[in-house]
Amino acid sequence: MKSPIPVCWDLYAPLSPELRTLALRGVVRSYPKKAVVINEGDIGESLFVLLKGSVRVFSGNDDGREITYGRIQSGDYFGEMSLDGGLRSASVITLEPCTCAVLSGTEVRAHLASEPEFAVNLLVRVIGRARAATEIARSMALLDVYGRLIAVLEAHDGMATHDTAAGVMLESITHQDIASRIGASREMVSRLLKDLERGGYIEMATKRITLIKKLPSHW
């Protein structure tokens, strides 16, 4: 369960000045790992400034299939898409214990009135996320499963990366994570990755994939 926690000023230090001013208007709450902070389809206009931790933004259906739109790290915010009073367009789940400053729509509008330059920040963020959602829709419509897999691996989005003698190592990634990002089954992803490993393109370990050489555009 979420619960209010005392203000810790160190949580605000990494924020940009304009985001820090916004976050200080909110109520600080903590969430455990795997807590659903926002449910797709719910009514709500709260905005969440992520002070600590990381979350995953996704949509799902009644059959348990999911598509991941991306991950959000501390120092960023989410929930802004419903400030118009509409339904939530996606769900958000914590990937680790998180701390957020939670603001009502009224508080956000008051901040925009007193700090109009933040409106530009908000607009740029909304446009950026709309572009990302458009790219996901384009990928789902125009690329096959292998094409979407390659796009995710080469983008490195949301994955820790390290350059090694063998190649680029992608960490904190599982077959299910990839499947959720590209709208495919975990079994299909595992089969394609195994084929790439046999071909000498990648090496796999637990939650880790090393890209050894350029991935073929077709398989």
CATH superfamily of the 3-141 domain: Jelly Rolls (2.60.120.10)
Q: What is the pLDDT of residues 38-89, one digit of tens each?
A: 999 998 889 999 999 999 999 987 777 788 888 899 999 999 988 888 899 8
Residues 144-201: tens digit of each pLDDT: 999 989 888 888 766 667 777 778 888 888 898 888 888 888 999 999 999 999 999 9
The string of DSSP letters for 61-76 reads -TTS-EEEEEEEETT-
Instruction: With beta carbons less than 8 A apart as the criterion, state whether 80 and 125 touch.
Output: yes
Q: CATH classification of 143-211, choosing from 3.40.50.300, 1.10.10.10, 3.30.420.310, 1.10.260.40? A: 1.10.10.10
Strand order in the sheet with 66-73: 36-38, 91-94, 54-60, 66-73
Query: Where do the domains of the chain lie?
Result: 3-141, 143-211
